[in-house]
Amino acid sequence: MAGQDDTRSFMALGIAVLTVSDTRTPSDDRSGDTLVERIAAAGHRLADRAIVPDERGAIAGRVRAWADDPAVDVVITTGGTGFTGRDVTPEAIEPLFDKRMDGFSIVFHRLSYDKIGTSTIQSRATAGLVGTTFVFVLPGSPGACRDAWDGILAQQLDYRHRPCNFVEILPRLDEHLRRGAAPSSTIRPE
């Protein structure tokens, strides 16, 4: 049964927030503000925050830099998940994934469907691992950010959440990376 195990201590994570937009500025980034407020209220650390334009290189570069930073455990992006010509966030980030998290999109769309009905199909929300960093790609609306945080991320980023959560597997996320580099491996890098 899902719930909170109060015998476990809360563990704060370093979470970076990236807003992808050609028009948003720090003064009107409502989606980024929504995430930052929820991160703080949950007791996590805001590791960094940035706004980049809807350009693949800028998006991928910022996410890769954060994934390489040991102070960042989680990256949450908002914006650029639709179908217009400038919506390129999934195309920029998915090639970085070492592992995809297909269940995130499924659960996000299930929650979103309850709020906005079939309009949820206009989002290409996705998630995965970049090295040992969790990356969640959310739509650019404050409502979508609230739904993803309140309905999924708040629980999965809380070590006390049962029966399982992302925090408890953090120490083992690099097993697939270390396995490929092991001396006994028959796979040789090119």
What are the boundaries of each domain within the chain? 17-173
Q: Does residue 93 contact residue 126 with C-beta atoms inside 8 Å?
A: yes
User: Would you say 88 and 80 are in contact if contact means Cβ atoms under 8 Å apart?
Assistant: yes
Q: pLDDT tens digits, residue range 152-176?
A: 999 999 999 999 999 999 999 888 7
How far apart (Å, rounded) are the C-alpha atoms in residues 26 and 65? 20
Q: What is the DSSP letter of 151?
A: I
> 17-173 is classed in which CATH architecture?
3-Layer(aba) Sandwich (3.40)
pLDDT band at 2 (very low <50, low <70, confident <90, very high): confident
